[in-house]
């Protein structure tokens, strides 16, 4: 993998990732942008009752919203139209978000573009490109986690207007949080209590129990297992675990890294076959990595993939019990969801 670093017109960093070591990406950003002024406009506040961190980022109201395809800011630049990516072509590109939720002293937000093809999706990538995306996620996780003040790095993809995506181009995001996120904080507390009570690792036991039971397994490889969790919150939700527990993407072994593209693409293609619809299935795909500091030894890297679609013509909206009390009610039995995902094999 070759990584090339450059700067956009307002000073933000852009990185190109290429499989070809000879790729040249020295293309200047010719747009008349002033210096980025978002670093001081984000604020982290703490909820006094729950203890959760909440980011206030009012400048994001002005971010780009559903532009037409010929004005997409994530497509390569062309003659007469400069985008966020100055190069006329790329394989994988990562750049600092122009409208970040976190910036400066409050962290960093990056956009990762999986392909220059506006009309495709991650599920349609080949294994070589998926491996390059994994390499980029890994590189960014290692570099960002080393920054002063960063506590946790989160790589994720939102796909589909139903999820709230405002740019249709195949892309994801990478957040470097200055705090440990509420969900991870709860996981760490539960895992620590289980270790104190039993002397065992809870992540290891969950994976072992799912593999032994088998009824919720969707895909099982030599180094990865994907399963619908026993208490799934979403109609179709899959967790993907490496068989050897590691805290984060940089710690993944070579064998697991090599097998990941095949398994992950298989999962995404199964999601697209769930419903008899011309539009692809909306989803959120989220890497859960250990934060810096305490708890890394017991944390298990894993990916969580879920859709808000529950049938071909119905979406799963968060009801009052879920939005108001975080008490989830699932309309689809996890075992039935797993059976359906097994039935729509991608090959």
169 annotated ligand-binding residue: yes
Q: Pick the catalytic residue: 171, 243, 288, 302? A: 171
Is 155 known as a binding-site position? no
Annotated binding residue at 118? yes
Residue 59 annotated in active site = no
SS (H, E, C) 245-312: CCCCHHHCCHHHHHHHHHHHHHHHHHHHCCCCCCCCCCEEEEEECCCCCCCCCCCCCEEEEEECEEEC
Show contacts of 158-162: CB within 8 Å, 24+ apart.
158/283, 158/284, 159/121, 159/122, 159/280, 159/282, 159/283, 159/284, 159/285, 160/279, 160/280, 160/281, 160/282, 160/283, 161/66, 161/282, 162/282, 162/308, 162/309, 162/315
CA atoms within 13 A on the CB side of 85: 30
- Contacts of 127-133 with CB under 8 Å at 24 or more apart are 127/261, 127/262, 127/265, 128/19, 128/261, 129/91, 129/92, 130/260, 130/261, 130/264, 130/265, 131/257, 131/258, 131/260, 131/261, 132/1, 132/17, 132/18, 132/19, 132/91, 132/92, 133/92
Q: Is 223 annotated as a binding residue?
A: no
> Binding site for Zn(2+): which residues?
72, 75, 118, 169
> Binding site: which residues?
72, 75, 118, 169
Residues marked active site are found at 171
């Amino acid at each position: 993998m070759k990584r090339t670093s450059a700067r956009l017109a307002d000073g933000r960093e852009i990185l190109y990732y290429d499989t070809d070591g000879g790729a040249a990406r020295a293309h200047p950003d010719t747009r008349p942008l002033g210096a980025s002024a978002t670093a001081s406009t984000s604020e982290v506040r703490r909820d006094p009752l729950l203890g959760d961190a909440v980011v206030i980022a009012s400048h994001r109201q002005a971010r780009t919203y559903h532009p037409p395809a010929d004005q997409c800011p994530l497509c390569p630049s062309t003659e007469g139209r400069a985008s966020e990516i100055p190069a006329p072509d790329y394989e994988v590109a990562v750049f600092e978000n122009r409208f970040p939720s976190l910036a400066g002293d409050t962290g960093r937000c990056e956009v990762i573009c999986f392909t220059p093809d506006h009309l495709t999706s991650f599920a349609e990538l080949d294994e070589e490109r998926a491996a390059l995306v994994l390499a980029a996620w890994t590189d960014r996780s290692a570099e960002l986690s080393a920054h002063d003040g960063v506590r946790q790095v989160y790589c994720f993809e939102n796909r589909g207007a139903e999820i709230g995506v405002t740019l249709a181009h195949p892309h994801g995001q990478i957040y470097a949080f200055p705090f440990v996120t509420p969900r991870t904080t709860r996981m760490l507390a539960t895992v620590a209590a289980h270790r104190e009570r039993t002397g065992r690792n809870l992540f290891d036991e969950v994976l072992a129990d799912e593999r032994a039971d088998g009824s919720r397994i969707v895909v099982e490889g030599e180094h990865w297992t994907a399963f619908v969790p026993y208490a799934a919150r979403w109609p179709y939700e899959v967790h993907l675990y490496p068989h050897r527990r590691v805290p984060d993407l940089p710690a993944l072994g070579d064998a697991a890294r090599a097998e990941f593209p095949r398994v992950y693409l298989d999962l995404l293609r199964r999601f697209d076959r769930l419903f008899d619809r011309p539009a692809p299935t909306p989803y959120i795909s989220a890497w859960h990595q250990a934060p810096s500091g305490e708890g890394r030894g017991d944390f298990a890297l894993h990916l969580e993939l879920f859709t808000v679609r529950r049938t071909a013509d119905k979406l799963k909206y968060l009801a009052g019990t879920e939005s108001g009390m975080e008490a989830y009610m699932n309309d689809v039995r996890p075992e039935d969801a797993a059976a359906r995902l097994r039935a729509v094999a991608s090959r």
